[in-house]
Amino acid sequence: MLRYLDAGESHGQGLLAVVEGMPAGVPLQAENIDVDLRRRQGGYGRGGRMRIERDQVRIVSGIRDGLTLGSPIGLWIENRDWQHWQGLFDASSEKTWEPFTRPRPGHADLPGGMKYGQRDLRNILERASARGTAIRVAVGAVAKALLAEFGIQIASHVLSIGGVEASPPSSKEDIIAADGSPMRCADPKASQEMMKAIDEAKKAGESLGGTFEVIAWGVPVGLGSHVHWDRRLDGQLAAAMMSIQGIKGVEVGRGFEAAFLRGSEVHDEIYYDQERGFYRRTNNAGGLEGGISNGEPIVLRAAMKPIPTLYRPLKSVDMLSKEQVEASIERSDICAVPAAAIIGEAAMAWVLAQAFLEKFGGDSLAEIRRNYRGYLKEVAER
Ligand code: EPS
């Protein structure tokens, strides 16, 4: 069983995770994890925090000579910003911090404060902050390292920002090439408009959401199962995607659009040839049928709401005085959809790695390879 726990507050010392259940023998380098951490920090529309942080992971356990040992992998990312917040988590410090008492509509502030009995909502927002997604991306990169050994590749791209829609990319190469661009979008013309929309939103004290797509290529047929609701891979992937800060909708394959079409327009017809075995010419199902991967690329889309911190704040109520006020302003991003797409990759990688180990599990990479090859051989004969 592959599992992890993470901890850390946005302005605490740092973020940590323990990944348990990774087999021995998987090549893993901090530098590879750092590539994804850098990707997460990018994207047009980010706020001041990303100019402070230089996210880098320290692998503190579970590795020797660049290979996993099968023991728990400890990961640590320092918050450089912590030094500006000295005393926030330290009762012995002389510095006191103003309480945060005007909850932002749309953030965890108010429901979190009510649930945990807190009037200083900093006690909620510090953990609710999307800062925590840095460690989630690091954990996802560990999962990606395992999946890469079996030719599974994950990428993402932005589809829309604040109502500006990109035309869909025509090839895998276009999607991968979008990675380096400021909006992480495969349509250069739409990207320009998206950046303009972000500039306008910034001027107006607004924030913008959008949609993105995450794709996994090379996933074998047979991950997940139809036999019980919580074993369905589509459900697990959707839950993982939905748990990312700001996500309000998830689609698999054609998703909501399929509900407007007829059966014959939606379902992917089945073909067979000696070399490829069973195959499809379309992938409207997004690589998932009956909660099981069907060998086609897995395609998920997610919708991110606009970030709740508005520089022109919405109405709120002060937790102490109960007076009608404007919500507090906490430094934030105008738009974080390009970053959310990277977090989407991590969420997908984690669920796929879990499902992969459930199917082909073993204690070492070599053992898993044997199981995997044996299964593929059997599948080819079916
Ligand atoms: C983020 C760090 C946070 C925010 C943002 C994402 O840092 P700070 O609060 O110090 O500016 O910039 O989080 C949110 C927008 C949010 O609402 O939680 C990061 O590392 O990605």
CA–centroid distance, residue 211 to ligand 1 (Å):
19
Please give the number of the atom of ligand 1 that sits closest to the Cα of 107.
Answer: 17
> CB under 8 Å to 321, separation ≥6 — which residues?
none
Architecture of domain 3-380 in this structure: 4-Layer Sandwich (3.60)
Tell which one of 100, 131, 331 to mutate to probe ligand 1, the residue whose CB is within 8 A of the most ligand atoms: 131
Please give the number of the atom of ligand 1 that sits closest to the Cα of 48.
Answer: 11
CA–centroid distance, residue 301 to ligand 1 (Å):
23
Pocket flag, ligand 1, residue 130 (CB < 6 Å): yes
Residue 119 confidence (pLDDT)? 95
Residue 91 confidence (pLDDT)? 73
Helix, strand and coil percent figures for the chain, each rounded to 5? 40, 20, 40
Please give the number of the atom of ligand 1 that sits closest to the Cα of 129.
Answer: 18
Pocket flag, ligand 1, residue 104 (CB < 6 Å): no
CA–centroid distance, residue 227 to ligand 1 (Å):
40
Joined together, the tokens standing for residue 163 give: 């109502």
Pocket flag, ligand 1, residue 15 (CB < 6 Å): no
Tens of pLDDT, residues 314-338: 999 999 999 999 999 988 999 999 9
Joined together, the tokens standing for residue 181 give: 């661009």
- Whole-angstrom CA distances from 381 to 30, 79, 225, 270, 281 are 40, 52, 21, 17, 21
Collapse the DSSP code of 86 into the 3-class scheme (helix H, G, I; strand E, B; otherwise coil) and give the result: coil
Question: Amino acid identity of 215?
Answer: I
Q: Return d(Cα 311, Cα 335) in angstroms, integer.
A: 13
CA–centroid distance, residue 90 to ligand 1 (Å):
21
Domain coordinates of the chain in residue numbers?
A: 3-380
Pocket flag, ligand 1, residue 39 (CB < 6 Å): no
The angle at the Cα of 365, spanning 361 to 368, to the nearest 5 degrees, equals 35
Task: Report residues of the chain scoring pLDDT below 50.
Answer: none
Residue 154 confidence (pLDDT)? 98
Residue 96 confidence (pLDDT)? 82
Minimal CA–CA distance to 186: which of 316, 65, 341? 341
DSSP, residue by residue, 323-365: -EEEPP-----S--HHHHHHHHHHHHHHHHHHHHHHHH--SBH
The protein residue whose alpha carbon is closest to atom 18 in ligand 1 is 129
Per the listing, tokens 């991110």 go with 304
> Where in 195-317 does DSSP place strands (E)?
210-217, 247-252, 270-273, 277-280, 288-289, 292-293, 298-304, 315-317
Residue 92 confidence (pLDDT)? 76
Q: Return d(Cα 69, Cα 88) in angstroms, integer.
A: 37
